[in-house]
Each structure stands twice: as C-alpha cells, then as structure tokens.
Amino acid sequence: MFLKQVLIQAMDLGKMMLISGAGVSRVEDTIERICLAYGAREVEAFTITSSIVVTVTTEDGDVFTQTKRIKYYKTDFHKLDRLNDLSRYVCREKPDITYLEEKLSDIRQEHIYSLPVQCLIASLIAGTFAVFFGGGFVEGIIGAVCGAAVWWLMACLQKLDSNIMFSDFAAAFMVATIAYILAHLGATRDYGTIIIGNIMLLVPGVAFVNSIRDIIGGDVMAGMIRLCEVVVTAVFLAAGSFTALVLWGGIL
C-alpha cells in the first residue's frame, strides 16, 4: 500500500515534468529512481508524449500498474528545475510521502508571472522577431501589439480547454488578419514580417529538440510521435495564416 502511494506521487511528478518540457527518458528515469529509493524491487516505466505507464514489483512479489494521461503541454523551465531538485532530494533523503505530496502541490500552484507580464514579454519577443526578419520600426510595433494579443488569446482558449491545434490555428488566423488589414489600410507595407514574428511565439521549438533527442537516445516511438505533433502544429499554424490571407484577400 505504501509503494502505491509512492508511485502515485512519483507519476504526478513525472507528469508535471513531461508537461513542463522534460524528455521522456528523463521522466522514466526519475519515476524509476523514486520508486526504487522507497523499496521497490523492480520498476518498469514507459512514457510517450500522451501517457505514462509504470509497473512496480514489490519485495513481496506483488505487482501493480498505474497510468497517467497527458492532454496538454506548457513549457516551464523554472518549474522543471524545481521538479528536478525535488526528485533528487527525495531519492537522497527519502522523506515522508506527505512531504512529496505537499511540495508537488506547491509547485503545481506556483505562477511566476501574471498574464499581463506574460503578454508584455510575448509582445517584446514578437516585435523583436518582426524586426529581425526584415521589418522596420512600424512592423516591430505592430508585431509587439499582435504578440500581446496572441498570448492573451492562447490563455483564454486554454481556460476553455480548447484543442491545442485549434488554438494555434485561431492565433495564426488572428495575427494574419490584423497584419493584412493594417497593410490594406496603409499602416504597413510588409505584413509578412509581422506574421512571421508572431508565429515564432507559437512554434514548438522545445518539442522539436526533445523529439530529436528522444530518437537519438533510442526512444524512437516517443520521438516520432512528438515529431509528428510538431509537424501537425506547423501545418495548423501555416493553415491559419493562409486561410486569413485568402479570406481577406478575396473580400478586400
């Protein structure tokens, strides 16, 4: 019974790590180490981008399995760093299981930046990318405003538990719509750099790097699944922008 409680908390920690941007091999290794530290005889963990399955064998020969479903991702390296520190401490000191539960609850509820601050950061990134890709001062300002709007829209859609692909499509559609209409009104002549600068906010770069790392590390299935998700996300981003340009190009 005690090991079941340990496994539940270990899988919660692993799930939070995977959502925050950890690779599957790191998640599996963390769960295995925690369970072994608390007396498991054997631990078999299998992780892909959408689920975690762990089977634990106790010293008495009892076997039990737990599964966790992963439905969304939100890259957060600060939270990932805290989870890594917690897992190392747990394996080294073996504190009471309630300690692990309380710490996980604290990390889960922690928010470093409020939504307005996140929107401000997104606007700076989008505006900078718009200039980097060839836009001028005006394109940078418009890109910054669009970046804040994109981040606010993504936050709202996440609260509504919207499908991530639909969210990406809607965000790309909104950016392309704003950029094209402003270009039509004469506010800017290079709406492409505005669109690209904001699309960079949504490109899943961490997921792409993790997919390649997983494949190289031998987790081919997990890596290929994650890579497919990256490609599909890119398709939806492109489709959102293309749809807006075709729609407004035909109307205006």
The beta strands (E) that lie in 71-218 are given as: none
Res. 1: pLDDT tops 80: no
**Cβ neighbours of residue 183 closer than 8 Å, sequence gap 6 or more:** 189, 190, 191
Give 103 or 250, the one with higher predicted confidence.
103
What count of other Cβ atoms lies within 10 Å of the Cβ of residue 228?
A: 12
**Cβ neighbours of residue 120 closer than 8 Å, sequence gap 6 or more:** 148
pLDDT tens by residue, 136-178 = 889 999 999 999 999 999 888 888 877 888 888 999 999 999 9
Res. 252: pLDDT tops 60: no
Q: Which among 185, 213, 186 is positioned nearest to 49, based on CA atoms?
A: 213
Most distant CA pair in the chain: distance in Å?
76
Res. 21: pLDDT tops 60: yes
**Cβ neighbours of residue 62 closer than 8 Å, sequence gap 6 or more:** none
Q: How confident is the model at residue 54 (pLDDT cuts 50, 70, 90)?
A: very high
The b-or-e profile of 174-196 (16+ CB within 10 A means b, else e) is bbbbbbbebbeeeebebbbbbbb
